[in-house]
Homo-oligomer: A and B are copies of this chain.
């Protein structure tokens, strides 16, 4: 259908003023007097709405007046400037065609609804300002990430979702099976007979694409993943979902410093892209969701991120142990309260914490010369805490194998991973960015359930 979008009208208004236009969209509000009426139209392509004036000359005037919020209409008319009004222009309708009515029990009325209520109607909530803004920013941020990496000739690699291995033992996993759960086949020694399952073995949903991505980095040098990952953790918090999207770049001929430079450039690129391409949405978040948002993001874009070692960070935090629920000491993992203190109170900007004790980090991280810490980095940002976690990878075959043995890992499960250290090993590094956390950071949205279209959490898998 040959319709002009509201986005096009706002962005190139000069071209359309005093011209006839045809737009299609949904009624946000409607009121009428005896001889004319106003309806506010939203067409989904732009955050702002378009006012339509319709008069009783229209033969279906009575039908239009009866329309409810949510109805779909196609409006033809002249776009005229309205210098006295709040909105810059309006359409004086020569026809209003009803595309689809909206039943009287339409749950979204003009008043503001709570996010908790809106979560119960995830098929309708994208029609509200709040979720229009969030999901457009989400889409733009996803594209910005692709654009950033593709402009730098990174290869996008689709790592598998169904996996036979448990990458880093990173939390509980979902099992994937085609076995009949009412009648699970068992072997003679009382184990589940996975030879009868679809893949002939036990399989799970991935928790990370990193190990697979490493195989590609040793072929293409610079690669990234962007796909769903899963955690079957029984945690009901505002920051955890069972299904979420993750970005995992992996770079060869690179060390931890290169990794941090990449992470910093990527974050700044995404922030800039979203602020430039969704100014109306960002203004909305700044006004209604998180007052300091735009200032904070501007300051991130223009500042050099801080750097501090874990050991230094602990010294700083120990002096302030009185302020924390969890007291810190060398060797402990940092909690969100510590992370936020560092980035918000001490550095007042994003900061990389590096060189963590090996005990609290994954087996594949490169051992530092001190034998106690590994070449890991977490990027902490104000308002959130950790947003990125990465490391240089252990590229030495013997050291990696020794660490795996120390942790009781089975060598045969990681043969492919050890092979990478056997055939042309290179210094390499990478990181993971949880995409929903990134969206929360960009928008100020406080609950992960509102940053993903159809959230999956314990006990919740609607639609």
Q: Residues on A close to B: CB < 8 A? A: 1, 3, 5, 7, 24-27, 43-45, 70-72, 74, 99-103, 106, 122-124, 126-127, 131-132, 135-136, 138-140, 142-143, 146, 150, 153-165, 172, 174-179, 181-182, 184, 186, 190-192, 198-201, 203, 205, 211-212, 215-216, 218-222, 227-228, 230, 232, 234, 242-243, 245, 252-255, 258, 395, 416-417, 419-427, 452-454, 456, 458-463
| A107 CA to B302 CA, complexed, in Å | 48
Q: Which residues of B contact A163 (CB under 8 A)?
A: 461, 463
| A419 CA to B100 CA, complexed, in Å | 12
B416 x A463 contact (CB < 8 A): yes
B253 x A45 contact (CB < 8 A): no
| A26 CA to B219 CA, complexed, in Å | 8
For this complex, 25 residue pairs linking A to B, each with C-beta atoms less than 8 Å apart, are A1-B258, A25-B221, A27-B424, A44-B219, A72-B253, A100-B423, A100-B424, A126-B220, A127-B219, A132-B220, A139-B154, A139-B157, A142-B146, A143-B156, A160-B454, A162-B456, A163-B461, A164-B462, A174-B177, A174-B178, A182-B191, A198-B458, A216-B453, A227-B227, A416-B463
A142 x B156 contact (CB < 8 A): yes
A100 x B425 contact (CB < 8 A): yes
Shortest C-beta distance, A257 to chain B (Å), equals 9
Q: Which residues of B contact A155 (CB under 8 A)?
A: 135-136, 139
Knowing A123-B416, A427-B1, A459-B199 are in contact, say whether A453-B228 is a contact too (CB < 8 A). Answer: no
A420 x B123 contact (CB < 8 A): yes
| A259 CA to B201 CA, complexed, in Å | 42
| A72 CA to B422 CA, complexed, in Å | 11
Q: Which residue of B lies closest to A201 (CB)?
A: B461
| A24 CA to B101 CA, complexed, in Å | 63
Shortest C-beta distance, A332 to chain B (Å), equals 29
| A7 CA to B101 CA, complexed, in Å | 56
Q: Which residues of B contact A124 (CB under 8 A)?
A: 215, 219, 419, 423
Shortest C-beta distance, A205 to chain B (Å), equals 7
Knowing A7-B153, A200-B459, A424-B70 are in contact, say whether A127-B158 is a contact too (CB < 8 A). Answer: no
Q: Which residues of B contact A219 (CB under 8 A)?
A: 44, 124, 126-127, 131-132
Q: Which residues of B contact A459 (CB under 8 A)?
A: 198-200
Which residue of the partner chain, among B126, B139, B150, B177, contacts A181 with CB atoms under 8 Å? B177
Knowing A1-B254, A201-B461, A203-B461 are in contact, say whether A220-B423 is a contact too (CB < 8 A). Answer: no
Which residue of the partner chain, among B198, B203, B425, contacts A99 with CB atoms under 8 Å? B425
B72 x A242 contact (CB < 8 A): no
| A153 CA to B221 CA, complexed, in Å | 32
For this chain, the copies found in one complex come to: 2
B463 x A44 contact (CB < 8 A): no
B45 x A222 contact (CB < 8 A): yes
| A100 CA to B252 CA, complexed, in Å | 12
Which residue of the partner chain, among B126, B146, B179, B230, contacts A216 with CB atoms under 8 Å? B126
Knowing A132-B219, A142-B156 are in contact, say whether A72-B425 is a contact too (CB < 8 A). Answer: yes
Which residue of the partner chain, among B198, B221, B419, contacts A242 with CB atoms under 8 Å? B198
Q: Which residues of B contact A228 (CB under 8 A)?
A: 158, 161, 227-228
| A186 CA to B5 CA, complexed, in Å | 54
Name the 7 nearest CB pairs between A and B, nearest first.
A100-B425, A126-B219, A44-B221, A199-B461, A123-B215, A123-B416, A72-B424
Which residue of the partner chain, among B106, B199, B234, contacts A456 with CB atoms under 8 Å? B199
Which residue of the partner chain, among B245, B416, B426, contacts A158 with CB atoms under 8 Å? B245
Knowing A132-B220, A423-B103, A425-B99 are in contact, say whether A199-B460 is a contact too (CB < 8 A). Answer: yes
Which residue of the partner chain, among B44, B192, B232, contacts A252 with CB atoms under 8 Å? B44
Shortest C-beta distance, A57 to chain B (Å), equals 25
| A126 CA to B427 CA, complexed, in Å | 19
A181 x B179 contact (CB < 8 A): yes
Q: Which residues of B contact A215 (CB under 8 A)?
A: 122-124, 126, 463
Q: Which residues of B contact A232 (CB under 8 A)?
A: 178, 198
Q: Which residues of B contact A71 (CB under 8 A)?
A: 424
Knowing A198-B232, A254-B1, A424-B26 are in contact, say whether A177-B177 is a contact too (CB < 8 A). Answer: yes
B453 x A135 contact (CB < 8 A): no
Shortest C-beta distance, A375 to chain B (Å), equals 14
Q: Which residues of B contact A416 (CB under 8 A)?
A: 122-123, 463
